[in-house]
Structure 1
């Protein structure tokens, strides 16, 4: 198109020269060509203007559509900004709530930790107190044992002195019978002699018929019968003498003679501290104390069984009875801990079922 315009411009500029130089035919031919060119220019102008207008209309439509899309995007952007502001406000509110909850939770944990520490301290003090009582009880037990040993030694010495005195008295009596004329015995074969054997101050003398042969055969025995006025006859054996020491102690316990039963069990436990009989006797010592409502001492006695014989069958029973003693002392928290200990350490024992039932009722 640019070339055509340039050609027309050149032809227009040179047309005067061509008119002067060219002939009439050439002029007509040139006019015809100019007419054709003008027509083409008009056609091109109308076509170009139409295309331009169409393009302008299309561009206007596109601009309108772009404006609408821009407006739509602006609305979405404003809505997004509004949502962002709301989310920011909600985030701030959540952060505030989380901070408050975290602080409250931290305060509760701190309070629970302090409570646990206080309970632990109280329990440690309780354990220290029980250990002190156990130590005092052991020292008292040792002192009692030493006192009993000394008492036994004193009794043995007194018995030896009495035996020596009795022997000396018997020897003096035999000498007096041999040397004194008033002590000579004259017995015929046909006559009898009555010897009075004195057993005690409150018991009447026993009349014993003695022949001459018996006097000759056993003079020393007769003299001892007449001179041993201070000696006591041996007690007759009873049916209980065949029982074992543990059975006798259990019989005392069944008869509710708890003090004597405790002494009997203690003697057995001291004689055999590591055997089954000694462990059972030590456990029964705790039972005697429990029945006498001496719960503190019973707890200490049960603790000996638990600490020294933790794998023995009596350890579970001792632990259970120890918890019951704490219940009697109104220390339910410690009792609850011991019941849980039974479930953890002695879960297959019969005491575990009892401990579970106790926990359910506490």
Structure 2
């Protein structure tokens, strides 16, 4: 193609010479111009080819780099694909493990719930049995208490009948009848005036001087009279100190009947329980102490009544009830002397 262009240019340059019969100098000048043009063409070709080769080489390098980058990207894509496959497999395995764990956890949870329900049912059955036993024990205790109360009432009636009979005898003995029987009093011996046999002759030997024994019976009525004169509560306390518990119980009962809400009434009610406790009538004592606890729970005697109630249950061999009452004393009367005794009992 370059040769064709050169020939065309050459012919174009020679055509004026041929037409005008140009001179030799013009021919040389034309040749020089043609040579210059050829050189320019050669230079252009050389420069163009070199540039094209350089560009081609650069393009080749770029293509090689692109190919290397493409290979790297393909390798990365393959690694990414491999990682994706591995992650999918791990995800499937993890999901399978999670499902297994969830199933095991659900199964374990169901077993735990079932076991708890069974234990709850067993406990409820045991509680029902204990409630039945407790109810039976309460019924038995109530029956025992009722029987003891009835027995105590029977003994009280018998004692009252005996007391009435003794009082009747004392009243009959205190009156002087037609036969001349004197009144019997404390510290005096009985003397029969009428219809008595002749006394035996006294021996000549002087009897020994008797010891001062009558002072004792003379002292007791004096003390009792002083206590009776002071107050009804003091009189009842004197009877209690003399271990005349039935008489003291009756005296305290009269005091509580007069004014049960007063200080003396509460003290007398407590001492009624003490009289029963001293006579070992523990069931009646428990009921008497309960009256104080129910009616006067804030009174200082309530703590003592609760303690004696627990001791009565303990003496009745009901240690469980006694333990519960001792614990109640420690809880409700923690700073009282009774609480210290209750703690010692619980130990």
Q: Same fold (TM over 0.5)?
A: yes
Q: Which residue, 32, 48, 59 being the options, matches 2:70?
A: 59
* d(CA) in 2 for partners of 1:112, 1:332: 24
**1:56 offset after TM fit, Å?**
1.1
Distance 1:358 1:114, change over 3 A: farther
- Structure 2: how far apart are the matches of 1:204 and 1:326? 53
Alignment of 1:135-154 (within 5 A): none
Contact kept? 1:130, 1:300, Cα under 8 Å: no
2:325 alignment partner in structure 1: 338
Pair 1:298-2:285 in alignment: yes
> CA–CA distance in 1 between the matches of 2:137 and 2:49?
125
Which runs of 5 or more structure 1 residues have no equivalent in the other structure?
1-11, 170-195, 207-235
For residues 106 and 326 of structure 2, the distance between their equivalents in structure 1, rounded to whole angstroms, comes to 45
The one of 225, 244, 255 equivalent to 1:268 is 255
Counterpart contact for 1:320–1:342, Cα < 8 Å = yes
RMSD of aligned residue pairs (Cα, Å)? 4.9
SS at match of 2:298: coil
- 1:102-141 aligned within 5 A: 102-112=113-123, 115-116=126-127
Evaluate the alpha carbon distance shift between residue 269 and residue 28 of structure 1 in structure 2; reply closer, same or farther with a 3 A threshold. same
1:27-80 CA distance string (max 9 Å, x none): 846853445434433332222112211221233234334434543554455445
Change (3 A) 1:317 1:112: farther
Distance in 1 (alpha carbons) for counterparts of 2:183 and 2:311: 52
Matched, 1:41 2:52: yes
Go from structure 1 to structure 2 and tell me whether the alpha carbon gap of 1:247 and 1:200 turns closer, same or farther (over 3 Å shift). closer
Cα distance in structure 2, aligned partners of 1:339 and 1:63:
89
Q: Which position in structure 1 is the counterpart of 2:221?
A: 238
The residue that corresponds to 1:223 in the other structure is: none
Cα distance change of structure 1 residues 59 and 253 upon mapping to structure 2, 3 Å threshold: same
Show CA shifts across 1:278-310 (max 9, x none). Answer: 322222222232333333222211111111111
Give the number of equivalent residue pairs: 284
**1:308-360 deviation digits (Å, cap 9, x = unpaired):** 1112111111112222223334434433332232233322221122223333x
**For each residue in 1:104-147, what CA deviation from the matched residue of structure 2 results, as whole angstroms up to 9, or x when unmatched?**
3344345445555665676678778888968x969x98xx89xx
Determine if contact 2:292/2:305 at 8 Å carries over to the other structure. yes
Superposed CA deviations along residues 140-166 of structure 1, whole A, max 9, x for unmatched, are: 98xx89xx8xx99xx99xx9xxx9xx9
Q: Secondary structure at the match of 2:114?
A: helix
Q: 1:46 to 1:70 in 2, by over 3 A?
A: same
Tell me the residue number matched to 1:97: 108
Alignment of 1:96-245 (within 5 A): 96-112=107-123, 115-116=126-127, 199=182, 203-205=191-193, 238-239=221-222, 240-244=224-228, 245=232
CA 1:198–1:285 in structure 2 vs 1: closer, same or farther (change >3 Å)? closer
Is this contact kept in 1: 2:227–2:238, CA < 8 A?
Answer: no
